[in-house]
């Protein structure tokens, strides 16, 4: 292999590794701020829960939305269409 080709290959590998580090760092930061309450995920400082299915399956943080106006609604995910029973935070 030509020296120039080898150098270019190393440069590409370097770039790919840097991108991987950035992705892992943001994942780590995210998971540090994320709390699992036994049913739903909550981000520090954010009162709205995230979809546990989307997070655990795809590592995507999808906010759950309130489904309906009446009391006792279950938050649901617009991406996977699952509804989740919120934990009784007083109990
Ligand atoms: Zn979901």
What's the confidence (pLDDT) of residue 91?
A: 42
Indicate whether 15 pLDDT > 70.
Answer: yes
Give the global pTM: 0.65
In the reported structure, the alpha carbon of residue 61 is separated from the centroid of ligand 1 by a whole-number distance in angstroms of 8
The DSSP string of 24-75 is HHHHHHHHHHEEE-SS-EEETT--SEE-HHHHHHH----B-EE-SSSTT--E
Query: By CB neighbour count within 10 A (0-12 exposed, 13-18 middle, 19+ buried), where does 86 fall?
Result: middle
Q: What is the number of other CB atoms lying within 10 angstroms of the CB of residue 79?
A: 14
Domain ranges of the chain: 3-76
- How many whole angstroms separate alpha carbon 16 and alpha carbon 29? 20
pLDDT digits over 41-84, tens only? 999 999 889 999 999 999 899 999 886 665 666 789 999 999 88
Rounded to the nearest whole angstrom, what is the distance from the C-alpha of residue 8 to the centroid of ligand 1? 41
CA of 22 to the centre of ligand 1 (A): 25
CA of 14 from ligand 1 middle (Å) equals 34
Q: How far is the CA of 53 from the centre of ligand 1 (A)?
A: 5
pLDDT at 88: 56
For ligand 1, a single-atom ion, the residues with CB < 5 A are 51, 53-54, 62, 77, 79-80
Please tell me the predicted confidence (pLDDT) of residue 14. Answer: 98
Cα–Cα dist 24/27, whole Å: 5
């Amino acid at each position: 292999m030509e020296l120039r080709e080898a150098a270019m290959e190393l440069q590409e590998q370097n770039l790919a590794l840097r991108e991987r580090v950035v992705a892992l760092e943001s994942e780590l930061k995210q998971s540090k701020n994320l709390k699992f309450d036994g049913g739903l995920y909550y981000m520090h400082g954010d009162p709205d829960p995230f979809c546990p299915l989307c997070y655990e399956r795809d590592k995507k943080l999808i906010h759950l939305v309130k489904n309906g106006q009446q009391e006792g609604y279950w938050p649901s995910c617009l991406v996977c269409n699952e509804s989740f029973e919120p934990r009784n935070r007083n109990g």
